[in-house]
Amino acid sequence: MVENQIESATPTRRPRRFRYLIDIIVLIAAVFGLEAAAEAIYAPKSMEAGFAFGLGIQMLEVLIACVLIWFRRERLADIGLKYPQSWLRTFLIGILIAAIVFAGIYFSEKAGGLCPDRRRFL
């Protein structure tokens, strides 16, 4: 019987699963930790301020995810992101989606979807 005597010249790399598990745990802790800390520090007084404050917290969470990718010395292409074929087309699609969302919000307010005091739905 002939044995397989071909060995790789480079040592095999251990699976990155453990590192990804650590990244997921860090991201979950960051999400819950930032949300809890933000609620303890500041309570928005209006719905608009709440949305803006929540957006700021979410941007911090995205920044943490980017830093974790950077620490692994990977590129965004390694997690499935790539440059668009056309930046103009990408921006036009984004503007179109934003216009549809804002039109939906505008018409739902005009149709009476929100109470006059804007604190709760009917």
**Confidence at residue 103, expressed as pLDDT on a 0 to 100 scale:** 94
Does residue 91 share a domain with residue 78?
Answer: no
Tell me the C-alpha to C-alpha distance, in Å, between residue 10 and each of 4, 13, 17, 62, 72. 17, 9, 20, 35, 20
Contact partners, residue 99, CB within 8 Å, separation at least 6: none
Does residue 106 share a domain with residue 56?
Answer: no
Does residue 74 share a domain with residue 121?
Answer: no
Does residue 106 share a domain with residue 70?
Answer: no
The answer to the question of residue 57 being in a domain is yes
Is pLDDT at 33 greater than 70 in this prediction? yes
**Confidence at residue 98, expressed as pLDDT on a 0 to 100 scale:** 96
Does residue 108 share a domain with residue 60?
Answer: no
Note whether 122 and 115 are within 8 A (CB): yes
The answer to the question of residue 4 being in a domain is no
Does residue 77 share a domain with residue 32?
Answer: yes
Q: Which residues pair with 121 in a beta bridge?
A: 114
Q: Which residues pair with 114 in a beta bridge?
A: 121
Domain span at residue 18?
Answer: 14-82
pTM above 0.75, yes or no: no
Q: How confident is the model at residue 1 (pLDDT cuts 50, 70, 90)?
A: low
Does residue 111 share a domain with residue 78?
Answer: no
Average pLDDT across the chain, whole number: 81
Q: In total, how many domains does the chain have?
A: 2
- Mean pLDDT in residue range 113-119: 56
